[in-house]
């Protein structure tokens, strides 16, 4: 979810779409799951309300990542990158069989 909100502010359906996109359709968020998560992220000061819009009589609230949320996301990405690097280094050190092509680190949808 954090990754979904990293570059721009999104409304509920936008987040669902972006998360599906980022996870290659592995993670399908639903409203009953999305909003409690948003509640928690908002309470923890990681995400904040950006603006409200009414489109076709429907209320849309847009959320964006706060600065502390961005720091948290960066720290987590850094951690995952280091893990991936460490694993790749181990794999490269394997001498008996040729190392398979390095795959891009899988980023957990956040």
Can you give the binding site for another protein, defined by CB under 8 A? 1-2, 11-13, 16, 19, 26-37, 39-41, 43-44, 46, 55, 58-61, 72-73, 75-76, 79, 83, 108-110
Buried b or exposed e, range 34-56, using 16+ CB within 10 angstroms: beeebeebeeeebbbebeeeeee
Helix, coil or strand: residue 100: coil
Least Å distance, CB 11 to another protein, is 7
Q: How far is the CB of 98 from another protein (least distance, A)?
A: 26
- Closest CB 32 distance from another protein, rounded Å: 3
CA distance 1 to 16: 9
């Amino acid at each position: 979810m954090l990754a979904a909100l990293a570059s721009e502010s999104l409304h509920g359906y936008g987040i669902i779409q972006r998360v599906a996109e980022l996870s290659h359709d592995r993670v399908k968020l639903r409203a009953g799951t999305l909003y409690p998560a948003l509640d928690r992220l908002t309470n923890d000061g990681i995400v904040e309300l950006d603006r409200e819009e009414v489109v076709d009589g429907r209320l849309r609230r847009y959320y964006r990542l706060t600065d502390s949320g961005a720091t948290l996301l960066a720290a987590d990405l850094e951690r995952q990158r280091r893990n991936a690097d460490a694993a790749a280094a181990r794999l490269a050190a394997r001498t008996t069989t040729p190392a398979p092509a390095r795959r891009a680190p899988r980023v957990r949808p956040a």
